[in-house]
Structure 1
Amino acid sequence: MPIRAFLLFLMVLSGCTRTSPPVYQGTKIRGVNTVAPSEPIDSAAFAPIRNINAEWVAVIPYGFCREGEPRFYFNMEQQWWGESLKGTAETIKLAHQNGLKVMLKPHAWVGRGTYTGDLDFKSEAEWQAFEKDFGAYILANAHLADSMKVELFCIATEMDNFVRKRASFWRSIIKQTRQIYHGDLTYADNWNHYHRNPFWADLDYIGVDAYFPLSSEKHPSVDALQQGWKTHLEGLEELASTLQKPVLFTELGYRSVDFATTKPWESYQESPQNHELQADAYRAFFREVWDKQWLVGMFAWKWFLHRPRRFHGDRDSYSPQDKPAEQVLKLEFGKADLDIKPK
């Protein structure tokens, strides 16, 4: 169902009428999604983040499963240091010591790189077994978030099929999380599924991983990229208005390659390097989107606290580090007048 038709259906079902979008009155979130380091880090890892005028970091403790196997694993010895509960806690501690606010944002990794949104099981018993493990993962991180006074907890990321088929699980786990964690809650939904999420009313922010297609050109102009945002913004604003919830871009990122704004979610497609397009894509976002009053802010994807020994230059080309895009973020994050205040 198209986004607009779905929203009209939602409004009729709930008895809502079209209202103005909510006005977020806080300081806009200027953040980066950090990659969990493979080995212990120290305070120096956060200096470059402060240098680009960011004020938030997303800390991401991955858990793992195999496609078709109803088990979920986390906090294992085989994982990277920063993915363990101990490493996650230390990363949060260091971020806070450096004056940064934290969103704790659990991610699932499905074996062989399968998209998490396609995760599925054949029987009720399999779903229940998986939910037991996955629920323990969410609640363990909720306990950590509360004990570390984390400012924002994102309960999970891009579990499209799971959300659609098992809404009762999500409502239950959100309720349990509220009993443990006393800060704001969101969920990171994918750009093409956020409008169908059944539990936004239970959360504080509509979280969207904003990999919206903007242009099919090899290197579109900033003006063309701004134009590409307009249709997407209509849908976001309508949902924010309908639910009276502000929107947070839990992820926003572009690879530094040709055609990076055609399908920004594609991470493995080989393309020639193009650092300037990545920078232009961020420029277009700040010019066209940032001042929307319903937008809480954004977390750029992605930032390495510690470069792994085997750094995948193509796959990891989302990082703006040491590229023109880093300077765009530094400039825009540093503008004191970017926060839109209610009239």
Structure 2
Amino acid sequence: MMKFFISLAILFSTFVNSQKKINGISFVASNRIVSEKEIKPVIKINANWVTLMPFAFLKTETNTNIVYDDERQWWGERKIGVEQTAALFHNQAIKVMIKPQIWIPNGFTGNIKMKSEKDWQILENNYQKFILEYALLAQKTNCEMFCIGTELNKFVNARPDFWNQLIKKIRLIYNGKITYAENWDKFQNVPFIKYLDFIGIDAYFPLSDQKTPDIDSLSIAWVPIKSQIKKLSKKFNKPILFTEFGYQSKDFTAKEPWNHSQQADVNLVAQQNALAVVLATFWKEKWFAGGFLWKWYDNYEQVGGSKDSDYTIQNKPAELVLEKFYKE
């Protein structure tokens, strides 16, 4: 452990003051009302931003009916939960991004594609209603940023006019910054980047086939990816925001970081190394705005720990890495 923190000190030695960055976490919607108690662990790790994620549901990738703010959903997934949770974080001077997302039980949002023009129009009307309601909530609660969509690549490329108009409508009712969260493999393929304030990337890039990827190999793997990201930032003169980033605490965590369904043995060191390197690689760059770690649960004492292979860093060595870094 001591050797790791010596390496960490070397990695972090060239940082620009990270407190000027978006040092964020993705706060998972709770099934119960949260209080100041659940906010304290977020304060402890020195986070200055959080993402709140109200979910909507589609039955399939070709379905048009978007279900959201339903009484059957968890408290934190609904408007009442988002509004009250945002107030708790604002009371602690922590900024908030609202990031409404779609969930498809046995599908992927990036593959949403309608079978007819009529279906596209129905979907667009339903999505617009969903997003504008939460944009109004973001304005009402003085949330500092709003994410207009997450990993919807086929949708955004098939219907660019809809998205251009949607952004205009959001700007009319919401005064904060806006972004869009595209998946790591499609981040250069977003037709409306010029209308955003931040270029959002869900940064689950494949980096290593090693069971326990070491700091040096991870650092090298990021070089060509970082170059592409920087080039996109320069092209549009927009800062990059990792709308999601994170690693599971399991073997081969950096091989397919997006793959949450693949089983593997717990590996706390792999998660620790991968997290340290992504922080060291990007947060020092002026063109990089920061990011939101995926993910953080409200019931701190009951989650994570040495036997857990999930993305959360709670009660794991990686938590100390983030806490130290966000404090720099």
Alignment-derived partner of residue 186 in structure 1: 179
Alignment-derived partner of residue 334 in structure 1: 327
Q: Report whether the alignment pairs 1:146 with 2:154.
A: no
Q: Report whether the alignment pairs 1:30 with 2:30.
A: no
Superposed CA offset, 1:217-259 (max 9, x none): 1112111111110110111011111111110011000000000
Kept in 2, the 8 Å contact 1:73–1:133? The answer is: no
Q: Report whether the alignment pairs 1:281 with 2:279.
A: no
Alignment-derived partner of residue 238 in structure 2: 245
The correspondence of residues 7-22 of structure 1 with structure 2, limited to 5 A, is none
Identify unmatched segments of 5+ residues in structure 1. Answer: 1-22, 336-343
Q: 1:257 to 1:37 in 2, by over 3 A?
A: same
Alignment-derived partner of residue 80 in structure 2: 86
Q: Which amino acid aligns with 1:74?
A: Y
Following the alignment from structure 2 to structure 1, what is the Cα–Cα distance between the partners of residues 180 and 214? 32
Identify unmatched segments of 5+ residues in structure 2. Answer: 1-15
Q: Report whether the alignment pairs 1:263 with 2:256.
A: yes
Superposed CA offset, 1:28-64 (max 9, x none): 1100001000111111111001101111100110011
Root-mean-square deviation (Å): 2.1
Q: Report whether the alignment pairs 1:72 with 2:66.
A: yes
Following the alignment from structure 1 to structure 2, what is the Cα–Cα distance between the partners of residues 308 and 124? 49
Alignment-derived partner of residue 48 in structure 2: 55
SS in 1 for 2:147: strand
Q: 1:144 to 1:316 in 2, by over 3 A?
A: farther
Alignment-derived partner of residue 128 in structure 1: 121
Kept in 2, the 8 Å contact 1:38–1:306? The answer is: no
Q: Which amino acid aligns with 1:208?
A: I
Q: Report whether the alignment pairs 1:163 with 2:156.
A: yes
In the TM superposition, residue 287 of structure 1 has moved relative to its aligned partner by 2.1
Kept in 1, the 8 Å contact 2:249–2:308? The answer is: no
Identity %: 37
Alignment-derived partner of residue 43 in structure 1: 36
TM-score under structure 2 length normalisation: 0.91
Kept in 1, the 8 Å contact 2:296–2:313? The answer is: yes
Alignment-derived partner of residue 98 in structure 1: 92
Following the alignment from structure 1 to structure 2, what is the Cα–Cα distance between the partners of residues 334 and 94? 21
Q: 1:165 to 1:308 in 2, by over 3 A?
A: farther
Following the alignment from structure 1 to structure 2, what is the Cα–Cα distance between the partners of residues 287 and 155? 28
TM-score under structure 1 length normalisation: 0.87
Q: Which amino acid aligns with 1:58?
A: T
Kept in 2, the 8 Å contact 1:257–1:278? The answer is: yes
**Between Structure 1 and Structure 2, how many residues are aligned?**
310
Alignment-derived partner of residue 20 in structure 1: none
Kept in 1, the 8 Å contact 2:24–2:47? The answer is: yes
Kept in 2, the 8 Å contact 1:160–1:189? The answer is: yes
Following the alignment from structure 1 to structure 2, what is the Cα–Cα distance between the partners of residues 226 and 310? 29
